[in-house]
Amino acid sequence: MTTPLIKFFKTLFVPKSNINLDNRFFLMLLITIISCIFSLKTQHEYINYLFIAKETFKTAFFGFSIYFLSYFILSYVKNNRISHFLKNTFLILVCLFGIVDIFNAYYFNMPISTIMIQTILATNPSESKAFFESVILARPLIPILYIVFLCSFLYFMRFNMHISLKKTCFINGFLMLIILSHGFKSLMTQHTLYYTTNTLANSTPLTKSLYAFYLAKTEQVGLKFLENLNKFSKKDYLSVEENPIANVVLIIGESASKNFMRLYGYNAPNNPLLSKIANERERERERSKTPFALYF
């Protein structure tokens, strides 16, 4: 049983003689550069073109590394249909999150971030629908231009770059060497790899969105854990329910408050504490009416 399975994977995943960098590859790289420029303009009050050029080049390099490594992995898929399906799915996701990043940066001055993901997760479907109809559909210029640009690029850009497997391995080694050097510099200067991992995670619209979603869910779990720690628990209680009171009656006004739970409204025979208070109140009321009744 194992041998046919191994043969199946050998026939399905076989490295090709070369890698074809088609128009989808260059379109994803171009979308990454454009979304990076829009995002950088939202993070700084004054536009520094030298800084934008430096960060854009860094993002383009890391984005190229991710896309090239993805194409290298997909080159092991022998079935062309599966390979094209995965590449098209990758392209659609990058284009989708790219327009989200550009749209938010242009209209709301906010790129894809943890705060934006938390806001989306906190809204219900009706609020999301109302926001989509009143905000996004009311500003259709950028989405329309974006779709026209994508279709025009894919239709007119027919450039393909074929790279042999030997050169591909050399390029991957060179890219990994630069990334490791960047991580080593970050480790030596800042004593952490966060700068390198954060740059890698935010280098493409897809990875940026996934990383922001991961941070948002992690912060939600952490806040929920701290909230549970801060809850007051009585002795010998394993947990505290979120809603310990099933029904809450809110009475506003002094005239209505005089008749609540026999004291103020309806009877509560199964509540000995309130019944005792009610009886004491009745005795005090009778005692106040006849202060000299005890002497007769």
Q: What is the pLDDT along the chain (296 residues), one digit of tens a residue?
A: 456 655 555 555 555 667 888 899 999 999 999 998 888 877 666 667 788 888 889 889 999 999 999 998 888 887 888 888 999 999 999 999 999 888 888 888 888 888 888 777 777 788 778 877 777 788 888 889 999 999 999 988 888 888 888 888 888 889 999 988 888 888 888 777 788 888 888 889 999 988 888 888 887 766 665 566 555 555 555 555 555 556 666 655 544 444 444 444 445 444 455 556 566 666 666 666 555 544 44
Q: Which residues of 223-253 are buried (b: 16+ CB within 10 A; e: fewer)?
A: eeeeeeeeeeeeeeeeeeeeeeeeeeeeeee
Is the Cβ–Cβ distance between 136 and 103 less than 8 Å?
Answer: yes
Q: Cα angle vertex 35, ends 34, 39, to 5°? A: 120
Residue 56, exposed/middle/buried by CB under 10 A (0-12, 13-18, 19+)?
Answer: middle
Residue 18 phi/psi, 5° resolution? -150, 170
Tokens of 199: 């740059």
Residue (of 212, 30, 24) closest to 104 by Cα position: 212
Pairing state of beta strands 18-21 and 161-164?
antiparallel
Nearest to 65 by CA among 166, 174, 197: 174
CB neighbour burial string for 123-154, b if at least 16 within 10 angstroms, e if fewer: eeeeeeeeeeeeeeeeeeeeeeebeeebeeee
* Three-class DSSP category at 203: coil
Contact in structure between 52 and 105 (CB atoms under 8 Å): no
0.85 surpassed by pTM: no
